[in-house]
């Protein structure tokens, strides 16, 4: 994936974030969304390790050794930031105070099932906070590459990997498409610039509903 395509998908996902929201960004690609939030948008970023109001990340030279986000990046405070313990941090999540979480994925199924914590026998990093984020954030969207490094579609009919949470995903942003999970199935909303609907469908294991001929691009 070219850096241009990568930037476009992250920029597109960043449009999820509206003023006044409390938001958790998952480790990896979702964290990059920070760079594309407009400076005048009021948003409170939550981090699992006990921060509400995560500020911009800092270089190693300027870092505070005691202040990281859940992904291990050195971050700063803002006027209004608070610190708390891990029980309070997840009370905030389970109580429904997160408006939005953007998470990564190994697989997402057409009904919104999410798998992102284990590839049994190969790579089991553990779920960290993902189970509670996926189950309890008011809106769960996924930001991921459309295919894994072997060219297999991550957008699948049914997850073959153990689930993080069932039927939790509302929308998926990939390098190829924007997809919505609906009661009737998975709907293709937008295609990446330069890709045809047929190319997206061919690259996707899950069946896609195509709502019209004039889809937006990003």
Partner 1 sequence: MKMSDKEIAIEDAIAQIDDGSSVMIGGFGVPGTPFCLIDELVRQGQKGLTIIKNDANETGMGVDHLLANGQVDKLIVTHIGLNPRAIEMMNDNRLEVEFCAQGILAERIRSAGAGLFGFLTDIGIDTKLSEGKTIIEFEGQPSLIEKALRADFALIHASRADTFGNLVYAASAQNFNPLMAMAADRVLVETEELLPLGDIPPETVHTPGPFVDCLVTLSKLTEDYNVVQR
* Binding of residue 87 to partner 1 (CB under 8 A): yes
What DSSP character marks residue 60?
G
Residue 15 or 162: the one with the smaller Cβ distance to partner 1 is 162
Residue 193: active-site member: no
Tell me which long-range contacts 75-81 makes (C-beta under 8 A, separation of at least 24): 75/47, 75/51, 77/53, 78/53, 78/54, 80/44, 80/53, 81/51, 81/52, 81/53, 81/54, 81/55
Question: Judged by CB under 8 A, which stretch of 1-9, 37-45, 56-64, 189-197 contacts partner 1?
Answer: 56-64
* Binding of residue 107 to partner 1 (CB under 8 A): no
Q: Name the one residue in this structure whose structure tokens are 């389970």.
A: 94
**Out of 16, 48, 132, 190, which one is annotated catalytic?**
48
Tally of CA atoms within 13 A in the half-sphere of 54 that contains its CB: 26
Site for partner 1 in 121-180 (CB under 8 A): 121, 123-129, 131-132, 135-136, 162-166
| Dihedral, CA of residue 101, residue 10, residue 154 and residue 103, to nearest 10 | -20
Question: Judged by CB under 8 A, which stretch of 3-11, 32-40, 71-79, 147-155 contacts partner 1?
Answer: 71-79
- Quote the least distance from Cβ 138 to partner 1, whole Å: 16
Q: Which two tokens stand for residue 189?
A: 């909303």
Catalytic positions are 48
Residues that bind partner 1 (CB under 8 A): 47-51, 60, 63-70, 72, 74, 77, 83-87, 89-91, 93-94, 117-118, 121, 123-129, 131-132, 135-136, 162-166
């Amino acid at each position: 994936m070219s850096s241009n395509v990568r930037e476009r998908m992250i920029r597109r996902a960043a449009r999820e974030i509206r003023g006044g929201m409390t938001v958790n960004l998952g480790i990896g690609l979702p964290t990059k969304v920070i760079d594309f939030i407009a400076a005048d948008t009021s948003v409170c970023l939550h981090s699992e390790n006990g921060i509400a109001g995560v500020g911009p990340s800092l270089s190693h030279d300027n870092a505070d050794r005691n202040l990281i986000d859940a992904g291990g990046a050195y971050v700063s405070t803002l006027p209004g930031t608070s610190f708390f313990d891990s029980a309070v941090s997840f009370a905030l999540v389970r109580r429904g105070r997160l408006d939005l979480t953007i998470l990564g994925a190994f697989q997402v199924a057409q009904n919104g099932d999410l798998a992102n914590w284990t590839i049994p026998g190969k790579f089991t990093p553990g779920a960290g906070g993902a189970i509670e984020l996926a189950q309890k954030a008011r809106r769960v969207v996924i930001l991921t590459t459309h295919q894994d490094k072997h060219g297999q579609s991550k957008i699948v009919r049914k997850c073959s990997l153990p689930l993080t949470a069932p039927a939790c995903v509302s929308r998926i942003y990939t390098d190829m498409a924007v997809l919505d999970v609906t009661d009737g199935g998975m709907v293709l909303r937008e295609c990446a610039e330069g890709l045809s609907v047929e190319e997206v469908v061919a690259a996707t294991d899950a069946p896609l509903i195509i709502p019209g001929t004039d889809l937006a691009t990003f």
